[in-house]
Amino acid sequence: MPRQHLFEIKKTGYQTWAKNLEVREKEVVEAKNIFLFPELPQFKTLEENIADFSVSPDRQKIALRHEDGTSWNIKLYDIGRAVTAKLAGQSNFALKDPEFSGWTWIDKNTIEISAKSKDASETYLIAIDKNPPQLVKKIPPEEEPAGKEEPEEISAVAAGENAAEEKPGAPRELARGQNGGADYYLADDGFIYNQENGGEPVLAAAGRIDVAAEAGYKLEIFGDYFFVAAADRLMAIRKDGKEFEKILDGAPRGTRMAPNGKRVVYWSNSEIWIFHLEKKTDPPTADGGEKVFIARFSEKITDCDWFNSDYLIFVAGDRVRTAEIDNRDKINFAEIAEFSKISGENSGEGKMFMDQDKKILYLLAGKTLRQTNLYE
């Protein structure tokens, strides 16, 4: 009969989905793409004595920092082949008793690793697409011999292939982003410009923001929208828009586009939101540019990702949980894991990575990297 009905989907060994939906006369009410998560996901150990991990930009490889109490080294886990290989370690540095000080992915095939001792530091670039992986020491500019050219594999990465060429009177770059081969940057005049192959900058959007040099801006492009993150807010504007809209008040922790490319999740320390890049016609409907509030937590949100295009997976405090994006009635959450329970210790801020292609969740709890397939 036309009224509110409670709908439930249950299966033994899985967490229940439930939602109150309004049934109207001569109308169809539907809920699509519902996923049931196991009550007790089974995790298996992948690597032990792991202090940290970092995922490649193409999400196909995981760099692992291995520490056993006496030494440290960097390993690489190939997701597609499910194999681990050593890349580098303390012995590769000329320093005395080098301590690991930092790493970053330059691109999908290059990792930059730094170490330091009491009086000095060194940085190496590791080309992981070489067999065996190739290490090249990165020489600081002040130590470059006069008239000596930098090795090709260093200069392309260190200088930045897409760095904007500064010209007299040209707006100075604050943050850079790419999308579909197009190169954009946020300038110190508050506008976003498109600059191809070192040519003249062209205004990419009419909207302008008030910039501050200390704000630490980040520019990302999702579909037809520019996202600009500052220290205390997140803003968005369509490429054909006239004004920026503040879509998050407070320090943004991250933004990620859904696998189907139709929406973006963004979050702060306490809130998770969805931004629709285009019109959504299936229930619940949404307009392009519409924001949807998902949840607020008292625990700190340390990571968030898409489980698939209809569900999120995130870390809040000590727990890993999932959330649907269907905000009719109440949002269904599923409990996946507690870091302290699976590691046997208080692990502090746990870390996760969701491989959407293989449907495998990776968790670093304590010093052990574990994985589980929530589809099995």
Alpha carbon distance 272, 248 (integer Å): 10
Please, which residues bridge with residue 89 across strands? 73
267 and 368, same domain (yes or no): yes
When mean pLDDT is compared across 103-107, 117-121, 270-274, 348-352, the lowest value belongs to 348-352
DSSP line for 107-173: ETTEEEEEEE-SS-EEEEEEETTSSSPEEEE---GGGPPTTPPPPHHHHHHHHTTTPPPP-TTPPPE
336 and 312, same domain (yes or no) = yes
In a domain, 176, yes or no: no
Q: How far apart are CA 351 and CA 323, in angstroms?
A: 18
**Residue found under tokens 């949840």:** 295
Same domain, 61 and 143: yes
Q: Where does the pLDDT of residue 143 fall: very low under 50, low under 70, confident under 90, or very high at 90 and above?
A: low
**Using an 8 Å Cβ cutoff, are 157 and 179 in contact?**
no
pLDDT at 364: 92
Model confidence pLDDT, tens digit, residues 205-216: 999 998 886 678
- E strands, 162-238, are 173-179, 182-187, 192-194, 202-203, 218-222, 225-229, 233-238
Same-domain status, 93 and 69:
yes
Rounded alpha-carbon distances, angstroms, from residue 316 to 40, 209, 284, 348, 356: 19, 32, 26, 11, 20
Q: Do 152 and 192 belong to one domain?
A: no
Are 95 and 116 a contacting pair, CB within 8 Å? yes
Same-domain pairing of 257 and 374: yes
Alpha carbons within 13 angstroms on the beta-carbon side of residue 216 total 6
In which band, very low, low, confident or very high, does the pLDDT at 96 lie, cut at 50, 70 and 90? confident
Phi, psi of 141 (to 5 degrees): -55, -35
25 and 58, same domain (yes or no): no
Overall average pLDDT of the 60-66 stretch: 96
Flag whether pLDDT at 133 surpasses 50.
Answer: yes
pLDDT at residue 156, as a whole number = 36
Task: Please check the confidence at residue 165 and state whether its pLDDT lies above 60.
Answer: no
Domain end among 230, 251, 272 = 251
Least confident of 30-34, 321-325, 347-351: 347-351
Percentage of the chain modeled with pLDDT above 70: 89
Phi, psi of 13 (to 5 degrees): 90, 0
User: Which range of residues forms the domain containing residue 145?
Assistant: 50-161
Which among 229, 251, 273 is the end of a domain?
251
User: What's the rounded mean pLDDT across residues 153-176?
Assistant: 55
Q: Check residues 153 and 100 and name the one with the higher pLDDT.
A: 100
Regarding whether 25 and 136 lie in a shared domain, the answer is no
* CB neighbour burial string for 272-303, b if at least 16 within 10 angstroms, e if fewer: bbbbbbeebeeeeebebbeebebbebeeebbb
Number of separate domains in the chain:
3
Consecutive H or E run containing 105: strand 99-107
In this predicted model, what pLDDT tens digit does every residue of 36-45 receive, in sequence order? 999 999 999 9
Contacts 24+ apart (CB under 8 A), 169-178: 170/201, 171/201, 174/211, 174/217, 175/217, 175/218, 175/219, 175/228, 176/219, 177/219, 177/220, 177/221, 177/226, 178/221
Is residue 251's pLDDT more than 50? Answer: yes
Question: Which residues 6+ apart lie within 8 Å of 226 measured at CB?
Answer: 177, 184, 192, 204, 205, 219, 220, 236, 237, 238, 239
Q: How large is the average pLDDT for residues 228-236?
A: 94
Residues 62 and 153 in one domain: yes
pLDDT digits 0-9 by tens, 277-319: 999 999 999 999 999 999 999 999 999 999 999 999 999 999 9
Check residue 141 and give its pLDDT.
Answer: 60
Q: Which of 251, 272, 288 is the last residue of a domain?
A: 251
172: pLDDT strictly greater than 90 = no
CB atoms within 10 A of CB 69: 6
Q: Which amino acid is at 234?
A: L
Give the pair of three-digit tokens for residue 63: 């760099």
The structure tokens listed for 292 are 């949807």
